[in-house]
Homo-oligomer: A and B are copies of this chain.
Amino acid sequence: MNTTMQYDLENAWTISETAFQKDDQGKCEAILCLGNGYMGVRSSLEEHYTNQVRNLFVAGTYNQFDHAEVTELPNAADLTAMELRLDGEAFNLETGRTHHYNRSLDLKTAELSRNVRWESPKGKSARFDFRRFVSLAELHTLGQKVSVTPDVDADIYIKTGIDGTVTNTGVQHFSEGEKRFYDKKYMQFVQTTTQSEIDFVLTTGVQVTIDGEPAQAAPFIAMDRRQLYCTYTIPVKQGQTLEISKISYVATSHDLAYAHMTVKEMQAACLARLKEQYAKGYDALQAENAQKWDELVWSEIPITVESENKFDQLAIRFAQYHLQVMVPAHDARMSIAAKGLSGEGYKGHVFWDNEIFTLPYFTYTQPGVARSLCEYRYLSLPGAHKKAKENGYAGAMYPWESAGLKDGETTPVWGAADIVTGERTKIWSGFIQQHISADVAYGVWQYHMVTGDDDFMAKYGYEIIFDTAIFWASRLEHDESDGLYHINDVMGPDEYKEHVDDNAFTNYMAHWNIQKAMEQYTMLKTENQDIFDRLNQKLNLDAHMEAFAGVLGRIYLPLPREADQVLPQNKTYLDLKEIDLTKYKNQKNVGEMFREYNLEQVNEIQVSKQADVLILFLLLEHLFSLDVKKANFEYYEARTLHDSSLSLSTHAILAADMGDSTMASALFDRCAKIDLGENMKTSDAGIHTASIGGIWKTTVLGFGGVRMLDGKLRIHPALPDGWHRLHFYLYWQGQKLSVEITKGRVLVQNCTGTKPVTLSICGKVVTFQDEFDCICAKP
């Protein structure tokens, strides 16, 4: 594939784009995006191009445009655009000649830079350097610096400001508020979301220097509809460097810090704060940002891989970078969206991707952040209750797509064109993809087991597990003919199978959820009367316990069929028609099958979008033998198109578990390349948080062999061929562990060392306070 992507395989810190390709803008906008969990800025270029998608999102600020649409993360006014002209000719890589082009994201410093040598159509040339960051040190701050060094004397024209005409693919979420200039240097724009009534105050300051001296020219200031900007026309001599720095400050009335101010007070406070940041200047602010990245990530929880393919190290850092960018660690009222803050895809909604694919990283490496993500699910219980009630169930029925705390279900109802009928396809996930409630409970339970955070459980965790179990008990359908409880008319993880009965994953997870609730009930009743009484009063646990006990043993749990040990994904899957899937297994882009079949037809074929039975084996691995896992891996891998980014890492981990190093490596590589690969079309709607979480999961849980099993830590590495050393950190029960894996050896050190840890390493259960060095046969 002809690609413009270049990966720094020497130091494994940078991802570069080596040429501008207008058709491929979405890729780099997303994978090179900047953010800090509070806000995300898509890396569209300073100059405008058609097909660009300019996004500035502030986490948690959902707005519903109208009743025909679901709530979504609104695209705030653009701060990054700059129009530049060289002696009247617009800097535009589609015109003139580009003699050099390089755009790089430095994962270590979280700074994006672009260096271009461009010659205008009339033959005037200049060097253009662009730098940009979103600060992890000061979450509201965005910095930009542009320098232009012309090869001849030239007038440089600059136009930059705040542009509130941007939309979410044509949907405008904001009412325009006040816009104004201060001192011909600072600009401020107020916009308010139309339904959720969140005020956004965007403030920016521009400074122009020539060879370090302030430029004399005063800007011309102007306002248009939803826009304000200043323009400069500055004569620059050959070899001089014109530098424009622009520091911006973003705040909203949804922010805890600003929630109690009037808009006028916010405007004043933001201007004051912007002035402070502006006074520090770009370089100092970026230094603070890089320093914070080092403190939180690169020095604190680095992952080191010595692999023959240096891309692996880069992929893992890429994953850690984006996991940090996407996570709203500052506020428990929000969680990780399916595309993080990198694009409009999935409208900023939170899926099970969080619990199953991204939460594990935080649970094991940043438990405080993981707690905040779990608290989000507690805080959004009102929405889960609302959904249960609307559907005639009890307890907490979590929305398939979750947004604001009280929104309930936010999955859109209509999707792509049905190529057979010409009508829109109905999206059933919001109605029938119900396993999410068990997934949430699982995430909470895993968080507790790994961290030992009893305070969280007391305040929030037990209640979530009880409340979801209550939902499941009300959801089960009793079948007179076999006397068992079934869960009919659902969608499992595999979204190519709608309206199925007894999806194995759903039934097992519902069973697990009720069982966990019953264990908790008994444990709390005997060990923690206070908590028990409070929750019993709130949820009427005694009554529910009786119901749980009445159903638990009679939930239908499908078993592997005798002949080949294949576990039926659902009641009918194994009887469906089989077709030759080779063409789609080798497809360039996901979903190519839908150019020939509609969903109704796909529903009748033995083909899966993503891991379904296999993810069950990963979450509840103690329930199934290795043989069963192997048989099913073989069966389902052949039938799985991996058309979802949630699929490959699960297959990779299972391949590692089963000792198939080649398959595991290949799947890991494909998983890493969902966003990072050479296909320039994958990431237009945003990066894939599930596969990014999956890179870490495959590395640490798969190759590192780390697993929490029934409350106990297990490390049983399975380094793939070509990996000579893997080193990472884990938090276990409050102790920070350093884990170093080389072929044949595992060295675990307790960096905290305040209490002994017990874990199973390569099959041996050991307890130690300082370090444990273990010879392992397998790795």
Contacts and interface: CB of A to CB of B under 8 A. Distances in A.
A23 B90 contact: yes
A92 B595 CA distance: 28
A220 interface: yes
A415 B228 CA distance: 12
Contacts of A177: 68
A627 interface: no
A40 interface: no
A50 to B, nearest CB: 4
> How many chain copies?
2
Contacts of A228: 417
A423 to B, nearest CB: 5
Interface string A160-202: 0000111101111001111111111000000000100000000
A242 to B, nearest CB: 22
Contact of A165 (B66, B169, B179, B424): B169
B220 A595 contact: yes
Interface in A2-24: 22-23
A417 B167 contact: no
A170 B94 contact: no
A224 interface: yes
Residue among A51, A66, A67 having the largest count of chain B Cβ atoms under 10 Å:
A66
Contact of A170 (B66, B182, B225): B225
B167 A172 contact: yes
A212 interface: no
A223 interface: yes
Given A50-B50, A417-B221, A226 B169 contact: yes
A129 B184 CA distance: 48
A170 B222 CA distance: 18
A483 interface: no
Nearest to A96: B94
Interface string A36-55: 00000000000011110000
Contacts of A170: 164-167, 172, 225-226
B181 A422 contact: yes
A223 B69 CA distance: 16
A416 interface: yes
Contacts of A765: none
A460 interface: no
Interface string A439-460: 0000000000000000000000
A16 B196 CA distance: 49
Given A50-B50, A68-B176, A68-B177, A416 B167 contact: no
A169 B224 CA distance: 9
A419 interface: yes
A95 interface: yes
A323 to B, nearest CB: 28
B225 A180 contact: no
Contacts of A49: 50
A94 B47 CA distance: 15
Nearest to A49: B50
A392 B194 CA distance: 32
A65 interface: yes
Given A68-B176, A94-B95, A422 B221 contact: yes
Of the candidates A180, A184, A415, the one having the most CB atoms from chain B within 10 angstroms of its own CB is A180
A342 to B, nearest CB: 17
Nearest to A66: B175
Contacts of A415: 223
Interface residues of A, number: 50
A417 B222 contact: yes
A588 to B, nearest CB: 14
Contacts of A182: 422
Interface in A385-433: 415-417, 419, 422-424
A48 B176 CA distance: 27
A506 B369 CA distance: 68
Interface string A700-717: 000000000000000000
A645 to B, nearest CB: 19
Interface in A370-392: none
Nearest to A89: B23
A205 to B, nearest CB: 13
Contacts of A69: 175-176
A225 B169 contact: yes
Interface in A61-75: 65-69
Nearest to A178: B424
Nearest to A412: B225
A406 to B, nearest CB: 23
A184 B422 contact: yes
Residue from the set A95, A222, A422 with the largest chain B CB neighbour count within 10 Å = A422
A75 to B, nearest CB: 10
Contacts of A595: 220
Contacts of A416: 222-224
Nearest to A185: B422
Given A176-B68, A223-B424, A417 B171 contact: no
Contacts of A419: 221
A601 B142 CA distance: 37
A176 to B, nearest CB: 6
Nearest to A229: B417
Nearest to A344: B225
Nearest to A192: B68
A172 B175 contact: no
Most buried by B among A181, A184, A223, A417: A417
A181 B95 contact: no
Most chain B beta carbons < 10 A, residue from A50, A221, A416: A50
A221 B184 CA distance: 50
Interface in A86-141: 90, 92, 94-95
Contacts of A172: 65, 167, 170-172
Contacts of A180: 417, 422-424
A166 B648 CA distance: 37
13 contacts: A23-B90, A66-B175, A94-B94, A95-B95, A169-B226, A170-B172, A172-B172, A180-B424, A181-B422, A184-B422, A221-B417, A223-B416, A223-B417
Given A50-B50, A94-B95, A165-B170, 19 more contacts: A49-B50, A65-B175, A66-B175, A67-B175, A68-B177, A94-B94, A167-B167, A167-B172, A169-B225, A169-B226, A170-B172, A171-B172, A178-B424, A180-B422, A181-B422, A221-B417, A221-B419, A223-B415, A223-B424
Closest 8 CB pairs of A and B: A165-B170, A181-B422, A223-B417, A172-B172, A48-B50, A94-B94, A66-B175, A169-B225
